[in-house]
Amino acid sequence: RHVYSKNLRILGTNLGSIPELQTILEHLVGGRLKPVIDRAFALGDARAAVQHVLDRKNKGKVLLVPS
């Protein structure tokens, strides 16, 4: 009930066995899996990036890019 009433999200993954992880990494390296990137922020705009996530505006990963 606490999670629901506070509108919290629980995120996680179970990577399974080492062979499964190796297969996933092979797909990543081979370009067959691509992360969904919502937006990239300059490192100096870190506050805006965090706010973007807190406001739940992202539909994928939010990146901080060093200058």
Give the separation between CA 7 and CA 23, rounded to whole angstroms. Answer: 35
Q: Is residue 43 helix, strand or coil?
A: helix
Task: Please list, in sequence order, all residues whose beta carbon lies within 8 angstroms of the beta carbon of residue 24, skipping any fewer than 6 positions away.
Answer: 15, 33
- Residue 56 pLDDT class (50, 70, 90 cuts): very high
CB count in 10 Å sphere of residue 49: 19
pLDDT tens sequence across 14-41: 768 889 889 988 998 999 988 899 999 9
Q: What is the pLDDT of residue 34?
A: 83
